[in-house]
Amino acid sequence: MSEDKYKISRRDFFRGAAMGVLGGTVLGMGLFSYSPWHKAYFPKMQRKLADIGACKSIKVTNISETSWFENSILMGDIKGAGGLLVNQYTYNWPPFGDGGGLGKGTYENGVAKIKHLLPDNLEEAWAITEKLSVHPENAGGFACLIEVEDLDGRKRNFLLDSGWSYKWTDECFKREGIDGMLKNREIEALIISHEHFDHFWGLPVTYKYDPHITTYIPEGFYPEGLQYIAAAGHKGKLVKVKPGLNPIVPGLATFVFAVPIICRVYGEQSIYANVKDHGLVSITGCCHQGIIQFAETAYKEVKYEKDKLYGIYGGLHISPFEDWDPKYDDLVISLGKYGFEKIGCNHCTGLLCARKFIEARYPVVKGTARFRTKDTSYLGNGDKIGFGIEI
């Protein structure tokens, strides 16, 4: 296609942005950034095309996508504690409640109340923290099981994240048989996406069943997070993954994005899987790096089948609190350009956003709205999605 077809004059661009008609509105909202036109103004991207190998299929089991149960309670707590830039360990949320009230907690005081009970006596530990914490009933958590089928048919399991509430996470682990898999050492490693409360604070539930499991965390954890891994009962190998690509097994690699995140958290570790004859699958806990950077990084960094972005699963973090802003429509529009054949999103994406994906006729895999998941527009608790395999 000739470059002339990408050209748009400065005058035409601003005239369109000022118009009230659809074309002008869309341009004004930023569609230009996601259109072919913008590429005429930038040099061609140099692709590294790192070879991570290939696998036959990927299956993801949504153990729990319900990070918390009520947005209003969570946001009320965050606002009352001082806002999104406040250290999450001071909120006085479970399991680090010390009885001091909202925004007046510390990791040291909170963990001291329960440390002697971790990881084996979690029911007693949770009973203590329920009495000392702010809104313990609102704590849920995110965790999913990733099954990788090698080209020779061997199946390997990885756990992405470990929830928040000990009570809820343990219940979900038992419902999906994760407790038994951990006991039998059937899960090779725990991959922690980032240090946020709803992905990381339920860590003792995993270590209760397998304290020796290899654990991957993104480089950048704060002292509290590192201390908590030890306090939670971990006795295995801890791998601090540096920013960039980190191959795990043939066809599966993590990628650490060095980005600052709300609640004084830094860095997110996401997953890329290259599925034979299909293309690349992107898996994320929250995608704080943004879906555009996630997809563009895959294109720039990784070699994959058919040069195709095949599927995506996880929290896409566009409107997790349902606070829709018109600029988010840009992200919905831009997702379509990548040509994903399967899109599996969950709670962290936002229900409004999931519905907009469906309205845009994107290939969204719907859920069953079981086990306290509120809607079928996204994959809920207990739901599964397959890439290179039918579920």
CB 178 within 8 A of CB 146: no
Task: Indicate if 237 and 215 belong to the same structural domain.
Answer: yes
Asked if pLDDT for residue 30 goes beyond 60, the answer is: no
Statement: residue 81 has pLDDT above 90: yes
Rounding to the nearest 10 degrees, give the CA dihedral for residues 354, 355, 356, 360. Answer: 100
| pLDDT in the model for residue 321 | 85
Mean pLDDT, residues 136-145 taken together: 98
Provide the mean pLDDT of the chain.
89
**CB-count exposure of residue 228 (10 Å: 0-12, 13-18, 19+):** buried
Whether residues 167 and 217 share a domain: the answer is yes
**28 shares its domain with 58:** no
How far is the C-alpha of 150 from the C-alpha of 348, rounded, in Å?
A: 30
Each residue's pLDDT tens digit, 323-340:
888 888 988 998 899 999
The reply to whether 265 and 151 lie within a common domain is: yes
- Say whether pLDDT at 381 is over 80: yes
Question: Cβ–Cβ contacts within 10 Å for residue 177, how many?
Answer: 13
Respond yes or no on whether the N-terminal peptide bond of residue 204 is cis (omega within 30° of 0): no
Residues 36 and 170 both lie in one domain: no
pLDDT of residue 44: 65
For residues 172 and 271, membership in a common domain is answered with yes
CATH number reported for the structural domain that contains residue 358 in this entry: 3.60.15.10
Q: Are residues 271 and 285 in the same domain?
A: yes
pLDDT at 46: 86
Pick the last residue of a domain from 138, 161, 189: 138
- Proportion of the chain above pLDDT 70, given as a percent: 89
pLDDT at 73 over 60: yes
Structural domain boundaries enclosing 35: 3-41
Number of structural domains found in the chain? 3
Q: Are residues 130 and 254 in the same domain?
A: no
